[in-house]
Amino acid sequence: MTPLDLVKMLIAFDTTSRDSNLALIDFAQSLLEKSGARCRRSYDATGKKANLFATIGPDSGGGYVLSGHTDVVPVDGQDWSSDPFAPEVRDGRLYGRGACDMKGFIGVALALAPEIARARLTRPIHFALSYDEEVGCVGVTGLLDDLKAEGIKPALAIIGEPTLMKIVGAHKGGAKLVTRCCGREHHSSQPERGANAVMMAGEFITLLDSVWHELRADSDPRFDPPHSTVQANMMSGGTAVNILARESEVTWEYRCLPDRDASAIVERVNARAALEVLPKYQRRAPEAQLETTLHAQYPGLAMDEDSPAIRLARELTGANQVEAVAYGTEAGHFQNYGIPAVICGPGSIEQAHRPDEFCEVSELHACTAFLRKVIAKAST
């Protein structure tokens, strides 16, 4: 199969994060084992999702990891021109959910497994396929824990997120948090006799915007935007227009510059909310509360232009520049584990998560050429 053929086959697996990815993992493991790969899995608590780690080449330490996540974001409510899970090539572009984020990279890597098997590798090449990256880089932590338990320590990792095949050496860290606003129900004609949790949530959202404004004072011009950000993206609550809401929830996120204390952002939000929002509602209802829960978190990737991962990527691509991005990846987890990581993959992040997601076929060709250079380097 050509890389394009294999990417199409991967897109046809609906691996939306809310669903199982086992069918794709079974398919990928079968392909890799036909090329002699040694495979191991790590599962989520339900057993319905799995990471796959596979190795081709000498049974020794070190080696290069080709890493990608198998899950994709939902297509619900998006206006697609074609079936998002029936990939199509039109005008030199491959359309389908995951075409760039990030089944393009995974498909190219898997298509090259037979070439990797035929190469005279002096160091192993590993495949790391994870689940639930799109909901907070959840799955890769289990994969890395499994490697740690087995004493497996690759020399570096190439994370194939869409970068237009440019070299990315840093990204922000982030987290998903939910703040539960608890008030007291009452008839809406007498609002001061209750505590309206929806109004409380509105004031909390305004506070988040204020914290974001404060964070602008600390900037790093390599990023766009150049500062850490905080924003609310979802809000729910209330039961009827004439009832003061007893409960409301605000789902929010931060995206923090690497090498900064991300926990300080949450502490600032909680401290200001306790001082500026909560007292007003507790005067009406002493039981009123604001409760914030961390649902998912991923670390930033700190720039280290002397790392072996970045040096390898620059050598093989001839790139003079190493870039930084605002979106998050699993690279920070690899770096925290002690595996230097770099991000380089086909497609543009501008197409990710959108209807009619696509990857230029020329990008898949460029990725194929790049990974063939990786194979050659692993054979020296």
Domain boundaries, the chain: 3-170+300-377, 173-298
The yes/no answer on whether domain 173-298 falls in CATH 3.20.20.140 is no
The architecture of the domain spanning 3-170+300-377 is 3-Layer(aba) Sandwich (3.40)
- CB-facing half-sphere around the CA of 132: CA atoms within 13 A: 23
Residue written as token pair 């090449």: 125
Is the torsion defined by CA of 315, 319, 321, 322 positive or negative?
Answer: negative
Exposed/middle/buried for residue 57 (C-beta within 10 Å: 0-12, 13-18, 19+): buried
H/E run at residue 7: helix 3-11
pLDDT in tens, the chain (380 residues): 899 999 999 999 999 999 999 999 999 999 999 999 999 999 999 999 999 999 999 998 899 999 999 999 999 999 999 999 999 999 999 999 999 999 999 999 999 999 999 999 999 999 999 999 999 999 999 999 999 999 999 999 999 999 999 999 999 999 999 999 999 999 999 999 999 999 999 999 999 999 999 999 999 999 999 999 999 999 999 999 999 999 999 999 999 999 999 999 999 999 999 999 999 999 999 999 999 999 999 999 999 999 999 999 999 999 999 999 999 999 999 999 999 999 999 999 999 999 999 999 999 999 999 999 999 999 99
